[in-house]
């Protein structure tokens, strides 16, 4: 009898336990179902998504069949807005390279111009003839004629002075430097900020410091012109040490960086050096994944 009572109580105990377990499971799954839309609302980019950078204009060759020309342009895909950073010197070269890469100019939502030099802004009017449904962010110090090119084409103009947010995860450093004012692009990724520079006239180390200060994390990657074409190896090594001291993980110097600097960066950064040129794509998988 005692033995029977023991089995009966064991049966009820296990039934109660599984009921409690099922109830807890229900609550948990209901909690998840309820939590999802809330977190999706608070943070629009919860799904994994990649950051893709494509160099459309550069004086360094990379992809066969594309035209190389002195200047710089880089397409940024992955953030909420598709961004064209600089437009090179000639729109025919820019649009020709885009056509060869099967990139429709209509995909661009935002154009960011780094600084006044022709090899970065010369392609603007030609590009706007193909797509004027864009917002163009340019340094406030740029001449009135460049601003008129935007407004006459019917595009939106944003004059940048201080650092600002362009769209979720994408920022401008604001105008930096003295004689030649320049803005750089800062993209917040899970691996740290990615910085895109035009010519880096304010100094690539200064730009990196600004990005680091804005995001509060070490820079993951710097891409673009580092303006070291006319710099000797001793000075270049000093700049490499400066970037390493800032804990910059990867470097992709192109445009006005020069072959000497590219070689020295390759030696210093080794597997974290990216050889960039026209047509080069750099993809960061899951760059905007939630925390």
- For residue 89, the minimal CB distance to Zn ion (Å) is 9
- Please state whether beta strands 110-112 and 83-85 pair in parallel, antiparallel, or not at all (unpaired): parallel
Residues lying near Zn ion in the complex (CB under 5 A) are found at 117, 119, 199, 256
The token pair at 44 is 């629009």
With respect to Zn ion, which residue has the nearer C-beta, 191 or 255? 255
With respect to Zn ion, which residue has the nearer C-beta, 158 or 180? 180
**d(Cα 100, Cα 197) in Å, to the nearest integer?**
24
- Please state whether beta strands 281-284 and 156-160 pair in parallel, antiparallel, or not at all (unpaired): unpaired
**d(Cα 219, Cα 107) in Å, to the nearest integer?**
28
Residue 87, H or E segment: none
- For residue 182, the minimal CB distance to Zn ion (Å) is 7
- For residue 201, the minimal CB distance to Zn ion (Å) is 6
- For residue 43, the minimal CB distance to Zn ion (Å) is 37
Distances (CA, A) of 22 to 18, 28, 32, 148: 6, 10, 15, 67
**d(Cα 77, Cα 136) in Å, to the nearest integer?**
16
With respect to Zn ion, which residue has the nearer C-beta, 119 or 189? 119
With respect to Zn ion, which residue has the nearer C-beta, 46 or 146? 146
With respect to Zn ion, which residue has the nearer C-beta, 195 or 256? 256
How do the residues of the chain divide into helix, strand and coil, expressed in percent and rounded to 5?
40, 20, 40
Nearest by Cα to 251 from 290, 197, 289, 214:
197
Nearest residue to Zn ion by CB is: 199
- For residue 123, the minimal CB distance to Zn ion (Å) is 13
Residues 66, 101: contact at Cβ < 8 Å? yes
- For residue 254, the minimal CB distance to Zn ion (Å) is 10
With respect to Zn ion, which residue has the nearer C-beta, 119 or 243? 119
């Amino acid at each position: 009898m005692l033995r029977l009572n023991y089995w009966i109580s064991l049966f009820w105990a296990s039934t109660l336990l599984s009921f409690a377990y099922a109830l807890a499971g229900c609550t948990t799954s209901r909690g998840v179902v309820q939590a999802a839309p809330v977190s999706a609302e608070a943070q629009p980019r919860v799904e994994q998504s990649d950051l893709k950078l494509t160099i459309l204009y550069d004086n360094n060759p990379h992809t066969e069949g594309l035209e190389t020309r002195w200047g710089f342009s880089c397409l940024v895909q992955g953030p909420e807005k598709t961004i064209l950073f600089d437009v090179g010197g000639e729109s025919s070269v820019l649009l020709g390279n885009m056509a060869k890469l099967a990139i429709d100019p209509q995909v661009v939502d935002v154009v960011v111009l780094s600084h006044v030099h022709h090899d970065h802004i010369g392609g603007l009017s030609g590009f706007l003839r193909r797509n004027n449904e864009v917002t163009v962010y340019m340094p406030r110090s740029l001449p009135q004629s460049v601003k008129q090119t935007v407004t006459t084409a019917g595009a939106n103009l944003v004059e940048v002075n201080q650092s600002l947010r362009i769209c979720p995860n994408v920022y401008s450093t604001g105008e930096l430097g003295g004689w030649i004012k320049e803005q750089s692009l800062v993209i917040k990724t899970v691996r740290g900020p990615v910085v895109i520079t035009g010519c880096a006239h304010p100094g690539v180390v200064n730009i990196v410091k600004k990005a680091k200060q804005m995001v509060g994390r070490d820079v993951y990657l710097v891409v673009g012109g580092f303006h070291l074409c006319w710099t000797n190896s001793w000075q270049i090594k000093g700049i490499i040490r400066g970037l390493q001291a800032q804990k910059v993980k990867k470097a992709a110097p192109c445009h006005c960086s020069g072959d000497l600097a590219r070689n020295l960066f390759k030696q210093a950064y080794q597997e974290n050096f990216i050889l960039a040129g026209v047509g080069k794509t750099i993809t960061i998988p899951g760059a905007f994944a939630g925390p």
